[in-house]
């Protein structure tokens, strides 16, 4: 602290007219300089006192710097009071306060300030004002207001500015309006597209389930030899996220190479994204290597690794990792506890799971919400304690979206354990709430069929067709080199279908030699087979999409390499039993990612230990 300066502050004469003529200019420059350096509220308040005593209360330039200083210190209420007392605020004054409300998580107040500025009409917004307002719209996902402000921007003629266009692009991306975001992006050609705008567009694709386009745009960015811009950590994290969602391990490895080349391996955000990508692409060993290289762990990196182990059926290892995290005094959040409960659910650790649920508040300060209870319902249901799961489900107050997950979990449990009564109630609740309607109709129809109610079953299917509810078609895909090959159940339209069928028949023969007969239980099989003999049923099951993908992979991938298959639905028990046997026959590791978890088949067994 400058003691001489404070003395001048404390003993400055009240009448500024008594000071030398050049004193104001020197003092003003000194105050503005000190305000830009201030990182402590006490110092800023001292400078504010000096500003008032030296007669700068009406000086817009100086007060703007004072407002900025308070904004940097997140003292937005003080900044707002100073603004309200200004006789003639200019565009910098307005923009500073709007930005301050944005930075302190008050985007709605930021928009209200902009509306007042618009109504005032004495001060037109500049490009930084617009950028701040679009940031507020992004935070609120307010595309309607954003489009209205966008229209004002077009009329102002300021849209060619890179800062404004980038913030506009980011807003549309976060409001899930990817097409408009792309139009803004394309309009920036020739007027300053930079790494920020490219990152915003790539992120928009990645966050809106359009991973292929995110990766293609990233390739275009890297191929541009005229640009000096290189990928930053945010762009790389988005690209890696796109690879995760698509299950594209080869592309993920290419992105990892770019990360290494750019020197971003030690960046925490990028490292955590890589960890998540390898885990979601079925390469847990690579995910573990990334985790061990992270020098300073956070709740995010630990949570990602715990969830990875949970998804791969390594419940005990996930819980050990959680204990390690707590021992390091890294405080778990609600997502961490969800990952822990998920680990218990998928590994049959019911007692441990209930223990974690009951101690969340006391030990970790996390109040269980419907997501945690839904996980416990799923856990109880998987373990066969369906009645307990059902009673718990009835006590949970949930909205429509979370209710779909809750009753969907109970529906699966009822189907798994042959509880027609539970299947019926869960299906009806889902249909009434207009959630997961197609799967609920199918499950209810199958339940009626199993109970012998063929007329009710057929009536439901007719109602389902009339309502336009089409069952999601099962699809599996496999990555070979730089290409992805997709297969649908029963579809033999690929060019090599003849070779695939011959290979599958040979596998079926070798499986039967080892005693494989497939599932005979209609409630545990993937479908209810009505009036279908055993031979026909075997043929239907052999054409499941995951088996087609497996055969294709075994034909085309090098001997000894791991086969990785992605599946959009839950793996059926028939295929699960077959894959266990096939892994031993072909002496290959087979990794399947279904809608819920990973199955790692090796030497005739699966990491899920037949519990999923």
Mention every residue, 6+ apart, whose C-beta is less than 8 A from residue 329.
Answer: none
Query: pLDDT tens-digit profile of 588-598?
Result: 999 999 888 89
Cα dihedral: 251, 271, 590, 347 (round 10): -150
Domain containing residue 161: CATH number = 1.25.40
- Which helix (H) or strand (E) segment holds residue 600: the answer is strand 598-602
Mention every residue, 6+ apart, whose C-beta is less than 8 A from residue 579.
Answer: 546, 550, 590, 592, 599, 601, 606
Instruction: Pick the most confident of 50-54, 433-437, 561-565, 571-575.
Output: 561-565
Residue 24 has pLDDT above 60, yes or no: no
Q: Is residue 309 part of a domain?
A: no
Containing structural domain, residue 170: 89-192
pLDDT category of residue 22 using cuts at 50, 70 and 90: very low
> Do 131 and 99 lie in a common domain?
yes
Q: Is residue 278 part of a domain?
A: no
> Do 388 and 508 lie in a common domain?
no
> Do 599 and 496 lie in a common domain?
yes
Q: Looking at the 3D structure of the chain, how many domains does it have?
A: 3
Cα dihedral: 203, 209, 212, 215 (round 10): 20
Q: Is residue 93 part of a domain?
A: yes
C-alpha distance from residue 70 to each of 36, 51, 79, 250 (Å): 10, 14, 6, 49
CA distance 82 to 57: 9
CA distance 101 to 88: 20
Least confident of 22-31, 134-143, 270-279, 409-418: 22-31
Taking the model in full, what pTM does it have?
0.78
Least confident of 86-100, 154-168, 200-214, 331-345: 154-168
φ and ψ of 19, to 5 deg: -80, 155
Mention every residue, 6+ apart, whose C-beta is less than 8 A from residue 374.
Answer: 396, 398, 402, 405, 406, 409
> Do 495 and 596 lie in a common domain?
yes
313: its two tokens: 């059926």
20: its two tokens: 């030398």
Question: Three-state SS for 193?
Answer: coil
Query: pLDDT tens-digit profile of 374-397?
Result: 999 999 998 899 999 999 999 998
> Do 431 and 496 lie in a common domain?
no
Q: Choose one of 170, 192, 214: the last residue of a domain.
A: 192
Average pLDDT over residues 466-474: 69
> Do 593 and 493 lie in a common domain?
yes
144: its two tokens: 């309607």
CA distance 106 to 244: 32
C-alpha distance from residue 364 to each of 67, 279, 317, 326, 599 (Å): 39, 26, 20, 9, 31
> Do 454 and 512 lie in a common domain?
no
Mention every residue, 6+ apart, whose C-beta is less than 8 A from residue 135.
Answer: 102, 107, 110, 167, 170, 171
Q: Is residue 442 part of a domain?
A: yes
CA distance 237 to 274: 8
Average pLDDT over residues 99-127: 90
In terms of pLDDT, which residue wins out, 249 or 481?
A: 249
> Do 482 and 467 lie in a common domain?
no
611: its two tokens: 């519990």
Q: Choose one of 438, 471, 504: the last residue of a domain.
A: 471
Mention every residue, 6+ apart, whose C-beta is less than 8 A from residue 509.
Answer: none
Average pLDDT over residues 23-39: 73
pLDDT category of residue 350 using cuts at 50, 70 and 90: very high
Q: Is residue 548 part of a domain?
A: yes
Mean pLDDT of the chain: 84
The answer to whether 241 and 247 have CB atoms below 8 angstroms apart is no
Question: Three-state SS for 65?
Answer: helix
Q: Is residue 262 part of a domain?
A: no
Domain containing residue 435: CATH number = 1.25.40.10
To the nearest whole percent, how much of the chain has pLDDT over 70?
85
Query: pLDDT tens-digit profile of 496-515?
Result: 888 888 898 888 888 888 87
474: its two tokens: 């099962």
> Do 407 and 450 lie in a common domain?
yes
Q: Is residue 219 part of a domain?
A: no
Cα dihedral: 259, 263, 268, 274 (round 10): 20
> Do 484 and 596 lie in a common domain?
yes
> Do 507 and 573 lie in a common domain?
yes
Q: What pLDDT is stored for residue 452 in this prediction?
A: 63
524: its two tokens: 């545990």
Q: What pLDDT is stored for residue 200 in this prediction?
A: 92
Q: Is residue 292 part of a domain?
A: no
Residue 575 has pLDDT above 60, yes or no: yes
Q: Choose one of 192, 226, 247: the last residue of a domain.
A: 192
DSSP 78: H
Q: Name beta bridge partners: 380.
A: none
CA distance 76 to 83: 10
> Do 427 and 501 lie in a common domain?
no
- Residue 554: which of 585, 594, 526 has the closest Cα? 585
Q: What pLDDT is stored for residue 18 in this prediction?
A: 38
């Amino acid at each position: 602290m400058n003691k001489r300066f404070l003395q001048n502050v404390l003993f400055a004469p009240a009448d500024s007219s008594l000071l030398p003529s050049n004193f104001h200019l020197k003092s003003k420059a000194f105050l503005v300089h000190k305000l830009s350096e201030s990182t402590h509220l006490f110092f800023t308040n001292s400078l504010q006192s000096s500003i008032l005593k030296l007669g700068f209360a009406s000086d817009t330039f100086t007060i703007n710097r004072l407002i900025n200083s308070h904004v940097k210190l997140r003292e937005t209420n003080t900044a707002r009071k100073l603004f309200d007392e200004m006789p003639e605020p200019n565009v910098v004054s307005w923009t500073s306060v709007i930005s301050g409300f944005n930075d302190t998580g008050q985007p709605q107040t930021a928009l209200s300030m902009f509306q007042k500025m618009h109504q005032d009409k004495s001060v037109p917004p500049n490009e930084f004002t617009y950028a701040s307002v679009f940031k507020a719209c992004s935070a609120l996902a307010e595309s309607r207001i954003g489009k209205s402000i966008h229209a004002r921007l077009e009329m102002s003629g300021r849209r060619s500015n890179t800062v404004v266009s980038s913030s506009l692009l980011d807003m549309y991306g976060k409001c899930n309006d990817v097409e408009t975001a792309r139009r803004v992006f394309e309009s920036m050609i020739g007027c300053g597209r930079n790494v920020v705008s490219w990152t915003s567009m790539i992120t928009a694709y990645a966050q809106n389930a359009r991973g292929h386009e995110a990766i293609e745009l990233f390739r275009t960015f890297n191929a541009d030899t005229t640009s000096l811009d290189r990928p930053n950590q945010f762009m790389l994290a988005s690209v890696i996220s796109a690879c995760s969602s698509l299950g594209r391990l080869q592309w993920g490895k290419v992105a990892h190479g770019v990360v290494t080349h750019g020197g971003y391996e030690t960046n925490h955000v990028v490292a955590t994204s890589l960890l998540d990508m390898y885990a979601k692409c079925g390469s847990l060993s690579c995910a573990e290597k990334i985790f061990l290289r992270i020098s300073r762990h956070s709740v995010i990196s630990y949570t990602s690794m715990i969830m990875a182990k949970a998804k791969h059926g390594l419940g005990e290892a996930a819980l050990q990792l959680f204990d390690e995290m707590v021992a390091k005094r890294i405080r778990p959040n609600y997502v961490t506890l969800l990952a822990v409960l998920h680990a218990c659910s998928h590994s049959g650790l019911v007692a441990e799971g209930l223990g974690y649920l009951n101690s969340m508040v006391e030990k970790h300060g996390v109040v269980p919400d419907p997501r945690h209870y839904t996980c416990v319902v799923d856990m109880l249901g998987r373990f066969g304690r369906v009645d307990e799961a059902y009673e718990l489900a009835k006590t949970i107050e949930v909205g429509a979206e979370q209710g779909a997950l809750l009753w969907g979990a109970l529906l699966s449990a009822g189907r798994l354990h042959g509880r027609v009564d539970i299947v019926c109630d869960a299906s009806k609740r889902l249909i009434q709430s207009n959630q997961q309607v197609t799967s609920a109709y199918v499950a209810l129809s199958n339940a009626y069929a199993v109970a012998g109610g063929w007329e009710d079953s057929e009536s439901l299917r007719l109602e389902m067709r009339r309502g336009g509810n089409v069952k999601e078609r099962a699809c599996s895909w496999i990555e070979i080199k730089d290409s992805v090959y997709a297969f649908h159940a029963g579809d033999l339209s690929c060019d090599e279908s003849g070779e695939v069928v011959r290979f599958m028949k040979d596998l079926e023969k070798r499986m039967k030699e080892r005693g494989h007969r497939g599932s005979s239980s209609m409630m545990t099989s993937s479908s209810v087979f009505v009036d279908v003999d055993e031979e026909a049923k075997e043929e239907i099951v052999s054409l499941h999409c995951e088996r087609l993908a497996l055969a294709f992979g075994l034909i085309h991938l090098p001997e000894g390499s791991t086969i990785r298959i992605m599946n959009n639905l839950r793996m059926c028990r028939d295929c699960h039993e077959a894959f266990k046997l096939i892994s031993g026959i072909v002496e290959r590791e087979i990794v399947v990612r279904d809608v819920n978890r990973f199955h790692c088949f090796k030497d005739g067994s699966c990491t899920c230990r037949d519990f999923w």
